[in-house]
Chain A
Amino acid sequence: EIVLTQSPATLSLSPGESATLSCRASQRLSSSYFAWFQQRPGQPPRLLIYGASGRATGIPDRFSGSGSGTDFTLTISRLEPEDFAMYYCQQHDRAPLTFGGGTHVEFK
């Protein structure tokens, strides 16, 4: 199965700053089948980015995704208070679908 490794595990930032989250895959995969999710405490994950760079419905444009092959990035510009949460990457290029271990964006 494809293993996704996210870094860093924790990102300590202040509102208004930018966040850069990374996800590395153990095998090359199609960017069409790569996604990012946000999960706030007590809530289900929410799809942010699909196809590596497409924003899901209702997602603000301060969220952007990029990357291809084995290296993918989620950038959050101008962090808002509601952006402090867990973020997971996911691939559905090859079964089984897999998720990364997550990056926690926390208040500095």
Chain B
Amino acid sequence: QVRLQESGPGLVRPSETLSLTCTVSGSIGIYYWNWIRQPPGKELEWIGYVFFSGSSNSKPSLKRRVVMSVDTSKNEISLQLSSVTAADTAMYFCAGGPRAVAGRLEIWGRGTMVTVSA
């Protein structure tokens, strides 16, 4: 069974770039890898997805700040979010959707909390 583990810096300063990693135990090529975030006490927000081939798609309002990639040698998925503000403070989850249905979020990591503060 595929398992996911997110990791990140915990605290990021405003205007800097947030970098997160999701480590996949299992086959990295059978899912589309989605990033979703959830501000404290608020609803879920989809950030985007990336496939092991490198193809990706992201939410239009975040697109200019988002870079996602897959490192098949390390079985890792990465998210970079640039020019962060306090509004980017959230729990960040990675989630896998099968190749045939990329948005069916079948497996989730436990998430990593990111706080944007000076």
A interface, CB within 8 angstroms of B: 1, 33, 35, 37, 43-47, 50, 56, 88, 90, 92, 95-102
Contact A101 to B43, CB < 8 A, known contacts A44-B93, A44-B109, A44-B110:
yes
Choose from A43, A47, A96, A102 the contact partner of B105 (Cβ within 8 Å): A47
CA of A95 to CA of B40, assembled, Å: 24
Interface residues of B in 71-110 (CB under 8 A from A): 93, 95, 97, 101-106, 108-110
User: A99, B46: Cβ atoms under 8 Å?
Assistant: yes
Give chain A residues whose Cβ lies under 8 Å from the Cβ of B43: 88, 99-102
Chain B: interface residue total (CB-CB under 8 A): 22
User: B60, A35: Cβ atoms under 8 Å?
Assistant: no
- The A interface, classified by DSSP as helix, strand, loop or mixed, is loop
B16 within 8 A of A: no
User: B45, A50: Cβ atoms under 8 Å?
Assistant: no
User: A90, B105: Cβ atoms under 8 Å?
Assistant: yes
Give chain A residues whose Cβ lies under 8 Å from the Cβ of B102: 92
Q: Which residue of chain A has the shortest Cβ distance to B107 in the bound complex? A: A47
Interface residues of B in 22-62 (CB under 8 A from A): 34, 43-46, 57-60
- The B interface, classified by DSSP as helix, strand, loop or mixed, is loop
22 residue pairs of the A-B complex, CB under 8 angstroms, read A35-B105, A37-B105, A44-B108, A44-B110, A44-B111, A45-B44, A45-B95, A45-B105, A45-B108, A46-B108, A47-B104, A47-B105, A47-B106, A88-B43, A92-B101, A96-B46, A96-B59, A96-B60, A97-B34, A98-B46, A99-B43, A101-B43
Min CB–CB distance B92 → chain A (angstroms): 11
Q: Which residue of chain A has the shortest Cβ distance to B60 in the bound complex? A: A96
Q: Which residue of chain B has the shortest Cβ distance to A95 in the bound complex? A: B57
